[in-house]
Amino acid sequence: MGRKKKKASKPWCWYCNREFDDEKILIQHQKAKHFKCHICHKKLYTGPGLSIHCMQVHKEAIDKVPNSLPNRSNIEIEIYGMEGIPPEDIKEHERQKTGGGKLSDSDDDEPAAKKKASTALLGPGPSTVTPGILPTPMGPVPPGMYPGHMGMNPMMQHFMQAPRMMMPGMRPLFPAASVAISTPSKPTFPAYSAPPTTSTSTDLKENGDVRPPPANSCPLVTATGAGSKIVHPPEDVSLEEIRARSSRYRPKPKPEAPSTPIPSPAMIQQSTSSSPHECCSGCSQTTAGSTKQAHDGCNGWHDAQPGPSACACLTSHACSACDASVQYRPSTPARYAVAGRDDADGCHVPGGHGIADDAAALPVVDRSRRTRQDRHNSQFRPPQERVDCGTNGFVTTGSR
């Protein structure tokens, strides 16, 4: 019989051409050598199984079967033991071993029913290959036999049940099964979670462009419920516009504004007065009082921003919105010093003062929240020596 002839050749591993005495050992070998995930060391059952595992679990694409021969590294072929090996490779292997092409007749004496079952289950791909149903030295594997090594993977085992029950007495067709599970395990597409939004917007459509919807006019709220938070500034303006307000992205005034004289040694004392509001982006000083001393003649949009208040430093900073040099009077005397700072691009810039609403209410303690913004501002000064006034009053050299 054809089967006997086939049995004469030992099971071998398609990936590395190694021969084994027993297909069980071959399968163990493949799982350990070729189907093991290099990240979590989980042993998968087939090449595609490994690839899907890596993609879904580790988000990494695998394009080759590990430890395989260069021409046998195809990860898309489903091979499990001797199952799924392309027929031409089997013939080639036989030829090399025995020098004969004896396989041609072996196909014919398979029981027709079994053959049909296997093709149906395997679906496309290795369906032309029948060696899967060949009796191995183990003989046909009873259903109870595999859980032994499937115990490693309870999930998998669960999925395996179905195909095995369908054809008792046959060996479980792992390749087919592993592909089958991959499909339902795909993340469900959260498609229909949106209808409420659609309905509201269609109502608005009638009014045309006049009335901005409520969500638009007021600061963004987490309308989706208490348990969620939109990671976005409260203002409903694009991130780019908010960012572009920062002083470092504003047109540079002509370098006419000279560096301010350094008023006192490098000691900074935070103003701890009662109602501190903002920090001056130029000198990182906290200012007291809400005296918004917008100078005359500047109608830059920074005026419209609530919040920016007088800067405590006695120096004159250039207004970057109008290129004017402005003298600010502090409302509370504050001792401060800024050493070696290049003040060319000015202070009192609203962007530098942060997004108005929540910033205005910040207590002094929250200065730490603002330091990044401050640093931004200082970053964009001409690149020589940047000095950043930290919260703790130390003067640090800014570095990126």
Partner 1 sequence: MTVTRVAESRTEFKLKSLPEDAISSIKFAPKSNQFLLVASWDCSVRLYDVSANIERHKYNHELPVLDVCFRDSVHSYSGGVDQTLKMFDLNATSETVLGDHKGAIRCVEFASEVNAILTGSWDGTVKMWDSRVPNCVGTYNQGNERVYTMSIVGEKFVVGTSGRKIFVWDVRNMGHVNQRRESSLKYQTRCIRVFPNKQGYVLSSIEGRVAVEYLDSNPEVQKKKYAFKCHRIKDGGIEKIYPVNAISFHSVYNTFATGGSDGYVNIWDGFNKKRLCQFHRYNTAVSSLSFSHDGSALAIACSQLDETQIEDPKPEDTIYIRYVTDQETKPK
Does 155 sit near partner 1 (CB under 8 A)?
no
Burial level of 176, CB count in 10 A (0-12/13-18/19+)? buried
Longest Cα–Cα distance of the chain, Å, equals 106
Does 187 sit near partner 1 (CB under 8 A)?
yes
Does 240 sit near partner 1 (CB under 8 A)?
yes
Does 159 sit near partner 1 (CB under 8 A)?
no
Does 243 sit near partner 1 (CB under 8 A)?
yes
Does 296 sit near partner 1 (CB under 8 A)?
no
Binding residue for partner 1, selected from 36, 249, 292, 357, defined by CB under 8 A:
249
Does 41 sit near partner 1 (CB under 8 A)?
no
User: Which neighbouring-strand residues pair with 74?
Assistant: 64
CA atoms within 13 Å, Cβ hemisphere of 194: 6
Binding segment (CB under 8 A) for partner 1, from list 27-35, 123-131, 315-323, 370-378 = 370-378
Binding segment (CB under 8 A) for partner 1, from list 54-62, 105-113, 139-147, 259-267 = 54-62
Does 229 sit near partner 1 (CB under 8 A)?
yes
Burial level of 239, CB count in 10 A (0-12/13-18/19+)? exposed
Binding residue for partner 1, selected from 186, 261, 274, 297, defined by CB under 8 A:
186
Binding residue for partner 1, selected from 190, 261, 297, 363, defined by CB under 8 A:
190
Query: In sequence order, which residues have a C-beta less than 8 Å from that of residue 248 and are 6 or more positions away?
Result: 345, 376, 377, 379, 380, 381
Confirm if 150 and 43 have CB atoms less than 8 A apart.
no
- Amino acid identity of residue 14, one-letter, is W
Binding residue for partner 1, selected from 4, 239, 256, 365, defined by CB under 8 A:
239
Question: 3-state secondary structure string, 15-82?
Answer: CCCCECCCHHHHHHHHHHHHCECCCCCCECCCHHHHHHHHHHHHCCCCCECCCCCHHHCECCCCCECC
Does 397 sit near partner 1 (CB under 8 A)?
no
Q: How far is the CB of 207 from partner 1 (least distance, A)?
A: 9
Q: How far is the CB of 76 from partner 1 (least distance, A)?
A: 9
Residues that bind partner 1 (CB under 8 A): 51, 55-56, 58-61, 63, 183, 186-187, 189-194, 197-198, 200-202, 204-205, 208-209, 212-213, 215-216, 220, 222-224, 227-233, 236-244, 249-251, 354-355, 368-369, 371-373, 400
